[in-house]
């Protein structure tokens, strides 16, 4: 699979035409309507958000702690969006390079990082299930 992907990438590089993702091509047209729809879809609550709200309700921590838990979860969930925004506010010269370096790291090591992360989470869940079953 990786060899096939590498061959396709090399063939595209030989063609000399950089491949731009369809999302960037779509948003690059400058249509306010398309941008609005993409924003709505991306900000629509997902399963993890609804599950977190369910867990918070089951905790029944009270009004102020509930608000703090929801805000904290939202901040953590959107951390990869918020960090560059804060970087552009506080260090606008440094941030574009940092974002490029992070994206390059993800391109090189992202799959391995995802596999390791999923393995660790899976192991923790299995261990938790075994410990709670006894």
pLDDT at residue number 117: 95
3-state class percentages of the chain: helix first, strand second, coil last, to nearest 5: 85, 0, 15
Reported as a pLDDT band with limits 50, 70 and 90, residue 133 is confident
Spatial distance between the Cα atoms of 22 and 42, rounded to a whole number of angstroms: 15
Task: Render pLDDT for 77-110 as a digit per residue (tens, 0 to 9).
Answer: 888 888 888 898 999 899 999 989 998 999 999 9
Residues 6+ apart with CB under 8 A from 47: none
Q: Which CB contacts under 8 angstroms, 24+ apart, belong to 41-46?
A: none
């Amino acid at each position: 699979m990786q060899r096939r992907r590498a061959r396709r990438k090399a063939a595209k590089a030989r063609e000399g035409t950089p491949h731009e993702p369809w999302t960037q091509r779509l948003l690059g047209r400058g249509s306010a309507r398309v941008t609005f729809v993409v924003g709505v879809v991306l900000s629509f609550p997902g399963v993890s958000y609804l599950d977190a709200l369910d867990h918070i309700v089951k905790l029944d921590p009270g009004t102020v702690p509930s608000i703090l838990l929801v805000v904290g979860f939202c901040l953590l969930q959107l951390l990869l969006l918020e960090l560059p925004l804060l970087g552009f506010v506080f260090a606008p010269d440094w941030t574009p390079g940092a974002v490029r370096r992070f994206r390059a790291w993800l391109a090189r090591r992202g799959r391995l990082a995802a596999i390791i992360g999923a393995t660790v989470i899976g192991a923790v869940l299995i261990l938790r299930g075994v410990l709670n079953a006894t």
